[in-house]
């Protein structure tokens, strides 16, 4: 075996891009199906005042304080 190059058929025998794409797809599915609490925590972590409030009072209270529904008349 002196030829350093492989033909396409031989190269595809050991390189499987399909499994990599499948892993990326599975990760996207997991991102879309996060628990509501995890989604709320991530929102709070991205907003600095909310994160500081969470250190003192917890993430559920911080999310409710900054992102809870506000009633307007």
Yes or no: say if 67 and 44 are a contact pair by the CB < 8 Å rule: yes
Distance (Å, rounded) from C-alpha 56 to C-alpha 42? 17
pLDDT band for position 31 (50/70/90)?
low
- Token pair of 15, please? 């390189």
Which residues are within 8 A (CB) of 53 and not within 5 positions of it... i.e. 6 or more apart? 61, 62, 65, 66
pTM: 0.51
- Token pair of 46, please? 């991205």
pLDDT on residue 63: 92
pLDDT on residue 50: 94
């Amino acid at each position: 075996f002196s030829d350093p190059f492989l033909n396409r058929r031989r190269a595809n025998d050991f390189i499987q891009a399909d499994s990599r794409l499948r892993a990326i797809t599975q990760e996207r599915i997991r991102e879309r199906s996060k628990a509501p609490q995890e989604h709320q925590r991530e929102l709070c972590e991205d907003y600095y005042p909310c994160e500081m409030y969470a250190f003192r009072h917890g993430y559920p209270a911080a999310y409710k304080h900054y992102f809870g529904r506000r009633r307007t008349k």
